[in-house]
Amino acid sequence: MSIRVLELHQNPSAAPSGVIENAETRDFYARVLGLTAGGGKASGGKDIGASEPYVGFAVESIATARAELSRMGIAHVVSGAAEAPGTERVFLRDPAGNLIELREVRRYREAPTSQEALGSEYVRAVGMVMFADMRGFTPLAERREPAEVVTLLNEYFTLLTSIAISHGGTIFGPAGDCLIATFGIPVESPDAGLRAVNAAREMLARYSWLAEDWKQRLGIETGLGIGVSFGAVIAGRIGVPGYDSYTIIGDTVNVAARLSQRARAGEALIAKSIIRELPGGVDHLGVIDLPPMALRGRAEPIEIACIPAPHRVDLRVQA
């Protein structure tokens, strides 16, 4: 018995590319999702190969899908289970490494997805904006061959992207060595603040393992600094026809970027406006309350809190 897939939805989030041109992966789609693949096409003529590494499938029942994945012993992550029955988003990977999202078909049809929000009009949205920036990338890029730098960046973005998505985030980057993600934008979420904080915490913890691996194997030292802010943004397509992209702009975006720049390696700086929206406050979340911080371009200091790592290193490039 396989999961009953009703519709295939393309998601604009970037993720590492993969292929389905091998028997193991083709068998996965047939055995697990009940889809056939030939020449890179899924049933219905939808491409699910390297050009669409992150796809969303609509299923009739998310509870049934979860039960079937557990029965088959397929690793998966559940996001949004606390909202209401049937609202969960289930994430798993195929053997080629492509990220797959499962949601109930009614949820796809009731609420706009990220792809459906990509219109020509500008919209105002309120939510969390996260910038996650690698520390030590400049010297790394100077000392390594471009092909090796690309490989390391792909490993880095694979980790951060999968974490953000597993917590219900939407990816708007990368930009250089910085990942830009939102929570509650463009689709509102009542627990977007908690999702953003938990995502930042997991990113710090898991990146520390990756950084240690790089240090042992390659002799390079890197870190991760994160900034998270809350507020209104303008979302829409920016640029000239044919060379535009869907992005977010506004003071909330600027604050998140500035906080990520000020964070030390192994540290996430979070606007206190997010903390006030969450039950339990600072103590419940295990974050440290910090004095207000002055940010470049802002008249007044911003109140912040910090998610620290056990070992923090200042790898910031001094201006």
Query: Distance between CA 102 and CA 8 in Å, rounded?
Result: 10
- Hunting for tokens 């920036």 — which residue is that? 133
pLDDT tens digit sequence for 277-287: 666 555 566 77
- What pLDDT does 185 receive? 82
User: What homologous superfamily is domain 5-110 in, according to CATH?
Assistant: 2,3-Dihydroxybiphenyl 1,2-Dioxygenase, domain 1 (3.10.180.10)
Query: Distance between CA 291 and CA 131 in Å, rounded?
Result: 21
Q: Is 45 left (phi over 0), alpha (psi -120 to 50) or beta?
A: left
- What pLDDT does 242 receive? 63
Phi, psi at 158, each rounded to 5°: -60, -45
| Domain residue ranges in the chain | 5-110, 123-313
Residue ranges in the chain whose pLDDT is less than 70: 1-2, 6, 8-22, 36-55, 79-87, 96-98, 106-122, 237, 240-245, 277-285, 309-319
C-alpha of 207 from chain center: 14
Domain 123-313 is of which CATH architecture? Answer: 2-Layer Sandwich (3.30)
* pTM of model > 0.75: no
